[in-house]
Amino acid sequence: MKRITQRVLIFLLFTFLPTVLTFADPPNPPGAGGPGTAGGTPVGASIDDGITILLALGIGYAVYKLYELRKKARVDA
């Protein structure tokens, strides 16, 4: 039971902690620049590149696991 609890806690740690820590600050309202600036277009954080990389890595891992399973099935047969 202790081992299962540890695995669940580790899973939650690696799943939710990065999610909470990577939230970007909301952008400033239009025309409200920081100190010494004249305002302009607010700049937000883009998550598109991160999601693309995550999906590519996930697909690559799935293909690798399928390859390993088929290779093992060929050896066992």
pLDDT score at 21: 66
Q: What is the mean pLDDT of residues 29-57?
A: 66
Cα separation, 69 vs 57, in Å, equals: 18
> Of 60, 56, 49, 59, which Cα lies nearest the Cα of 22?
49
Specify whether the CB–CB gap between 1 and 7 falls below 8 A. no
pLDDT at 36 > cutoff 80: no
Read off the pTM: 0.40
45 phi-psi bin (left φ>0, alpha ψ -120 to 50, beta other): beta
Summarised one tens digit per residue, pLDDT across range 9-21 is 888 788 877 776 6
Question: Which has more confidence, 36 or 45?
Answer: 45
The domain spans of the chain are: 47-77
Q: In angstroms, rounded to a whole number, what is the distance separating the alpha carbons of residues 26 and 65?
A: 39
